[in-house]
Amino acid sequence: MRKFDYYQPESLKEAYKLMEKVKGEAVYVAGGTDVIVRIKQRAIQPEALISLRGIEELKEIRENGGMSLGAGILFREIEASDKIARQYQALYQAACVLANPQIRNVATLGGNLCNAAPSADSAPPLLVLEAEVELEGPGGKRRIKLEDLFTGPGQTAKEPEEIMTRINIPSQYAGTGTAFLKIGRVSQDIAIANASALVAIEGGVCRKCRLAVGAVAPVPLRLKSIEEKIEGQKIEEELLQEVEKMVCEAVSPITDVRSTAEYRRAVSGVLIKRAIRQAAARAQQ
């Protein structure tokens, strides 16, 4: 493994100066659970690593109607948060099944998103929650929808000099339920497929639906045409059977060491159907 320098700034301003010092040849790292693996595999060979773990503002949770999570928040902290469990059940569910407790103790929410794996467990719940991310760098701050962050496997719209600082989740209407489901070869494995649903029920009818799947397309995927199909209808079995078929047609999975494309295609429809059922049940509680 190639040698590299390691820096531990205590502020964003210091981190930007370090990145400028090495002329963009460094990589920002938080938990390191993905970056270190990629370095060992020689997928990347940075001149330096700039650790973000000592920057306290990246760990803050703020409530402003919705919730603003610092990108450095650990999955263990999400798992332990009663507020997130109550208000954003899908994100809580995803945190609880991500890898294993050892990984959750060091892996960060921002790192999981910036790694841009199509199978990232945090992406589908945040997509259905219509989250936005804040990116900040030497050139200033910007805010983009999460669905616009992912541009391809392992690729994002974030510039190398930028740091993801926050993930902003809007407040949810009363009568809204969310759910996240995942299937892997074993409980601690990367997802073969995962899925999340948000359903808002009023008068027995779905007035809002958001659906997302992971590991079945080049990027975590919102299923917008299927959302439109569901909105304005009652969540009944006949509709769910139709939705399952539509999901199977909408995804574009690959075959790899974890699964075949055919299995991923079939199971993604099943997961969405179950997630809708679970979200609808929560919405009506």
Instruction: Look up the CATH number of the domain holding residue 279.
Output: 3.30.390.50
Same domain as 181, residue 145 = no
pLDDT band at 253 (very low <50, low <70, confident <90, very high): very high
Q: Is the pLDDT of residue 166 over 80?
A: yes
Same domain as 30, residue 106 = no
Kindly report the pTM of this predicted structure.
Answer: 0.96
Identify the pLDDT of residue 54.
Answer: 96
| Each residue's pLDDT tens digit, 18-59 | 999 988 789 999 998 888 888 888 888 899 999 999 999 999
| Each residue's pLDDT tens digit, 14-26 | 999 999 998 878 9
Same domain as 41, residue 67 = no
Identify the pLDDT of residue 36.
Answer: 85
Same domain as 195, residue 145 = no
Identify the pLDDT of residue 167.
Answer: 98
pLDDT band at 1 (very low <50, low <70, confident <90, very high): low
Same domain as 161, residue 187 = no
Q: What percent of the chain is modeled with pLDDT above 90?
A: 87
**Cβ 78 vs Cβ 88: under 8 Å:** no
The number of domains in the chain is 3
Q: What does the angle CA 272 – CA 123 – CA 128 come to, to the nearest 5 degrees?
A: 55
Helix (H) or strand (E) holding 212: strand 205-214
What are the angstrom distances between the C-alpha of 158 and each of 55, 107, 130, 245, 271?
A: 19, 19, 18, 34, 30
- Last residue of some domain: 132, 152, 169? 169
What are the angstrom distances between the C-alpha of 228 and each of 34, 208, 222?
A: 35, 9, 12
Same domain as 102, residue 47 = no
Amino acid at 124: P
- Last residue of some domain: 153, 169, 185? 169
Of the listed ranges 22-36, 164-178, 241-255, the least confidently predicted one is 22-36
Same domain as 149, residue 124 = yes
94: domain range? 57-169
Q: Average the pLDDT over 109-135 and give the result.
A: 97
Rounded to an integer, what is the distance from CA 201 to the centroid of its chain?
24
